[in-house]
């Protein structure tokens, strides 16, 4: 059976392309999905893609990953810095996760320096824009045996 990865995106990432392009670039979420699916094909991994602005829907997506996907790539966006619920969902499901941010959260406002996701993630990729999702796929797939 081939491996499967789900890429989960949080609030406001549906606006990528027009949202603060000086920070997040001009690549749209649809472009990122196409990049990730192409890269998944190269790696021989099935890639699913979801986005929600709602914290509970993100919790549901993480819970549903158990037994279906072999790994999660999560850009929880602003919920990264606030959501115990997302951290608990990742812990509860136990599906290995890589945390992604387009921007380098550590070179930005201090409130972005803390992540509830990092302690329960395998690792973090931030600051490389849309390419970060491709790097995260490589990093995640490298952990599969």
Return the active site residues. Answer: 24, 101
Tokens of 113: 């320096």
Residues 110-129 that bind ligand DQA (CB under 6 A): 112
Pairing state between β 71-75 and 97-101: parallel
Of residues 20 and 138, the one with the C-beta less far from ligand DQA? 20
Q: Does 9 bind ligand DQA (CB under 6 A)?
A: no
Which helix or strand (DSSP H or E) is residue 47 part of?
strand 45-51
Residues 6+ apart with CB under 8 A from 91: 120
Number of residues that bind ligand DQA (CB under 6 A): 10
CB of 67 vs ligand DQA, minimal distance in Å: 27
| Span from 25-33, 61-69, 85-93, 101-109 in contact with ligand DQA (CB under 6 A) | 101-109
Kindly state whether residue 75 participates in binding ligand DQA, applying the rule CB under 6 A.
yes
Closer of 91 and 113 to ligand DQA (Cβ): 113
33 to 72: interface string for ligand DQA, x by CB under 6 A: ----------------------------------------
User: Which string of b and e fits 24-55 if b means at least 16 CB within 10 Å?
Assistant: bbebbbeebbebbeebbeebebbbbbebbbeb
| CA distances (Å), origin 103, targets 17, 30, 45, 48 | 14, 18, 26, 22
Footprint of ligand DQA (CB under 6 A): 12, 75, 77-78, 80, 101-103, 105, 112
């Amino acid at each position: 059976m081939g491996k499967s990865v789900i890429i989960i995106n949080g609030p406001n990432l549906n606006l990528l392309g027009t949202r603060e392009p000086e920070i997040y670039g001009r690549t749209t979420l649809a472009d990122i999905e196409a990049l990730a699916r192409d890269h998944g094909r190269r790696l021989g991994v099935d890639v699913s893609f979801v986005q929600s602005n709602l914290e509970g829907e993100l919790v549901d997506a993480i819970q549903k990953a158990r037994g279906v996907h072999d790994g999660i790539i999560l850009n929880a966006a602003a919920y990264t810095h606030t959501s115990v619920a997302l951290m608990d969902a990742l812990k509860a499901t136990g599906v290995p996760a890589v945390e992604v941010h387009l921007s380098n959260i550590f070179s930005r406002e201090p409130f972005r320096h803390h992540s509830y996701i990092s302690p329960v993630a395998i690792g973090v990729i931030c600051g490389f824009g849309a390419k970060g999702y491709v790097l995260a796929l490589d990093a995640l797939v490298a952990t599969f045996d």
